[in-house]
Amino acid sequence: MTMTETPMAEQQQQNELNGHKDLNHKSLLQSDALYQYVLETSVYPREHESLKELREMTQNHPRNIMATPPDEGQLIMMLVKLINAKNTMEIGVYTGYSLLSTALALPHDGKKNNMGKYDFVFVDADKNNYLNYHKRVIELVRIGGLIGYDNTLWFGSVAQPPHAPMMDFVKNSRGYVMELNKHLASDERIEICQIPVGDGITLCRRII
Ligand code: CA
């Protein structure tokens, strides 16, 4: 199949539309309808009332794009419980959906602020510094502990050519996210799993 060149303006408009679509449903699933199905069937019926309240409070915030999608929150809660995490840390907090998800999944003797050996660290801060965070976080998490890096598919831009039209904030951090992904794949201290939920979350289990 041959790709035909789309006129610049039209391409840009199409890209903006695609971008907006991505920004709205924040999912890599094939359609909005499928994502709605996931939310309505499996996520909303089990969503904690405090999380629901927080999600509804922030959904009209101009920067709501930064909120953790509820299906991703559900995954985090499951992971935190599976590894019996007690000491957790979150780097980069927006209105706190993922932080609250973690807190709700912790046992009563769990702690959010305790320097030492962390069971679970969720990194969702400035993407340009992801590699720097990794250098430190890997030392903080215990062997067998888990790190989650959020937005590692960066609105799908990681698979787009470098000069493809994309929104500025996407373009500006794309290289850093790709660099992190490469680094994680070659870091022998961890096992990794790229999960295409939300905007992509990479789970890293420290093994040495
Ligand atoms: Ca995020």
Indicate whether this model's pTM tops 0.85.
no
Residue 42 lies in a domain: yes
| Residue listed under structure tokens 């199949």 | 1
Residue 110 belongs to domain spanning: 7-206
Find the 80 Cα to ligand 1 centroid distance in Å: 17
Q: How many domains does the chain have?
A: 1
**Residue 132 alpha carbon to ligand 1 centre in Å:** 17
Predicted local distance difference test score (pLDDT) of residue 15: 41
Ligand 1 centroid from CA 7, angstroms = 33
66 falls within a domain: yes
- Predicted confidence at residue 52, as pLDDT, reads 94
| pLDDT in the model for residue 65 | 79
Is 1 inside a domain boundary? no
Distance CA 79, CA 62 (A): 30
Instruction: Report how far residue 44's alpha carbon sits from residue 134's, in angstroms, rounded to the nearest whole number.
Output: 32
Task: Judge contact between 203 and 193, C-beta under 8 A.
Answer: yes
Q: How many Å apart are CA 19 and CA 40, to the nearest integer?
A: 24
Q: For residue 63, what is the domain's CATH number? A: 3.40.50.150
Examine residue 2 and state whether it is found in any structural domain, yes or no: no
Contact 117, 87 (CB under 8 A): yes
Residues 83, 87, 89, CA angle at the centre, nearest 5°?
A: 105
pLDDT tens sequence across 147-206 = 999 999 999 999 999 899 999 999 999 999 999 999 999 999 999 999 999 999 999 999
> Is residue 105 in a domain?
yes
Q: pLDDT-derived band of residue 110, with 50, 70 and 90 as boundaries?
A: low
- Asked whether residue 190 is assigned to any structural domain, the reply reads yes
Stated as kind and residue range, the H or E segment containing 149 is strand 141-150
Tell me whether residue 198 is in a domain: yes
